[in-house]
Amino acid sequence: MHKSSKPFFLGLLLACCLAVACAPKDVKHYPIEAKVISVDLPSKRIVVEHGDIPGLMPAMTMGYTLAVPKEAQGLSLGDKISADLVVTDGLARLEKITLLEKAKPLPNPAPPAKP
């Protein structure tokens, strides 16, 4: 090997090692539909009640990280949403949140009957 080519090959080897180490982890996407239970924008968290997610988990109420908190602005208890549940290395986050149906307001309770 020519003496001046040694640094080139060492650099190439280092670049290959970094590329492998920085490669994306195993990422899985699951489309979900869910009912909003709570939203905490400062903490970037949302709690939803969702149905079965085949290949991942049964129906449950669970909290998730918001990938883009702005997508959850204006959501409130009972709103129905669709989202992309993204799971990477055991960590889950919701992306591409779309409002499907705004929750219906609760009716005002009837005033108490007068005696």
Q: What is the pLDDT of residues 9-47, one digit of tens each?
A: 555 555 554 444 555 579 999 999 999 999 999 999 999
CA atoms lying within 13 Å on the CB side of residue 54? 1
* Alpha-carbon dihedral 8, 11, 13, 14, rounded to 10 degrees: 180
Residue 60 and residue 50: Cα distance in Å, rounded? 6
Pair of tokens at residue 51: 């149905």
With cut-offs at 50, 70 and 90, classify the pLDDT of residue 108.
Answer: confident
CATH architecture of 27-101: Beta Barrel (2.40)
pTM score, whole prediction: 0.72
Residue 52 and residue 91: Cα distance in Å, rounded? 18
Mean pLDDT of the residues in the chain: 85
Indicate the domain borders of the chain. 27-101
